[in-house]
Chains A and B, each alone.
Chain A
Amino acid sequence: DTEVTQTPKHLVMGMTNKKSLKCEQHMGHRAMYWYKQKAKKPPELMFVYSYEKLSINESVPSRFSPECPNSSLLNLHLHALQPEDSALYLCASSQDPQDTQYFGPGTRLTVL
């Protein structure tokens, strides 16, 4: 089973809202990732958690705040987003950082 789940599937929020995206995997993977993908572009890495510690932050604006409560869960807290932040947000996981990554179905975010 290589399932990564994400909620919600769709999210519409205003620029003053605070919301959170959630990601879960039960494969015992120790690395989890957040990516942002715009239409017709490949995914762009945002954050990497390795063994529940933030190991990579790709210079992401502070209005995006990741959290890894335990080895199975990854959250992305959103606050004061801009319309240009509208995109598909993908979570992925892998056994450890050098292994194959498996993606969740994504959350399609629209910022009004």
Chain B
Amino acid sequence: RKEVEQDPGPFNVPEGATVAFNCTYSNSASQSFFWYRQDCRKEPKLLMSVYSSGNEDGRFTAQLNRASQYISLLIRDSKLSDSATYLCVVNYNQGGKLIFGQGTELSVKP
């Protein structure tokens, strides 16, 4: 079993759609959680940190369920510019080693 697992992609959605990504992690000692987005041939960029209380940034909402070891990202009112690969990332606090999911590719179409 992979340490961090994400929904397989790609997700192809129309503009304005709501899309949800899910992620599970295997190590219950995990300390911090993130969603990064990565555009084609670019570096990963931090989208959001994820907190137990849930957090929202505009059209983006992230949730963490420590009991189920589950992380989610909800994107409302999708824009063409949201097209990217979304990486679920977990930090076990093992000296800075991040554990990446395989990424979920999102394509938003007109």
Contact = CB atoms under 8 A, between A and B. Distances in A.
Contacts, number: 52
A31 B31 CA distance: 17
B43 interface: yes
Contacts of B34: 100
Given A42-B87, A42-B101, A42-B103, A101 B96 contact: yes
B27 interface: no
Contact of A56 (B44, B49, B96, B102): B96
The number of chain A residues touching the other chain, given as a range, is 20 to 34
A97 B96 CA distance: 4
B100 A56 contact: no
A56 B102 CA distance: 22
Given A42-B102, A98-B31, A98-B32, A48 B97 contact: yes
Contacts of B45: 103
Interface string B89-103: 001010111101111
B43 A101 contact: no
Nearest to B32: A98
A64 interface: no
Contacts of B97: 45, 48, 56
A31 B96 contact: yes
B10 to A, nearest CB: 11
Interface string A31-52: 1010000000111010010100
A52 to B, nearest CB: 14
A56 B42 contact: no
Nearest to A94: B96
Given A50-B96, A55-B95, A106-B43, 7 more contacts: A97-B95, A97-B96, A98-B91, A98-B96, A100-B46, A103-B45, A108-B41
